[in-house]
Amino acid sequence: MEIIEKKPVTLAEAFELLKERKKENLSFEQQYAYDYLNDVLRLSEKDAESLAEKLKPFGLTDFQIVKIVDLMPKKEDELKMVISSAGSGVTSEQLKEILKIIKTFKEKEKNVEKIKKIKEEKEEKVEDKKVVEK
């Protein structure tokens, strides 16, 4: 296998890639990653992409943007830790602005959690029904 391109991707993008691949067949490792991402994913791919776009004007690297989208830091100190890993000239004012942007996506994160919970409840009902039928 030849590597054509390397680029950082968000957890949401990785999940969607695996979801597409799942239609064929996933290896053990891919299935494990798929299950894990399904449990921990905070944003949909669309929302993750939208958040990433809003962070681009701050002069962050692609890696920094991906980490911010994946971790969605709540506090300035947390955000500084993510950004400082690759060095950055982001000002304190810009950090506050980035946190405001992230905060707008927190509501969407809550909606994703609600949807996951509903899906889990439906799956449990289906499994319970199968057990009762046996």
CA–CA distances in Å: residue 134 to residues 114, 128, 130, 131: 31, 10, 6, 5
At 56-75, the pLDDT tens digits run 999 899 999 999 999 999 99
Indicate whether 60 belongs to any domain: yes
The identity of residue 92, as a single letter, is S
Domain count, the chain: 1
pTM (two decimals): 0.74
Indicate whether 66 belongs to any domain: yes
Q: Which domain holds residue 123?
A: 11-133
Whole-number Å distance between alpha carbons of 68 and 62: 10
Indicate whether 2 belongs to any domain: no
Indicate whether 6 belongs to any domain: no
Indicate whether 1 belongs to any domain: no
Q: Which of 32-41, 54-63, 84-93, 112-121 has the lowest mean pLDDT?
A: 112-121
At 29-57, the pLDDT tens digits run 999 999 999 888 888 889 999 999 999 99
CA–CA distances in Å: residue 74 to residues 5, 19, 63: 32, 29, 18
The identity of residue 18, as a single letter, is L
The identity of residue 99, as a single letter, is L
CATH of residue 41's domain is 1.20.1250.40
Indicate whether 5 belongs to any domain: no
Indicate whether 3 belongs to any domain: no
Indicate whether 71 belongs to any domain: yes
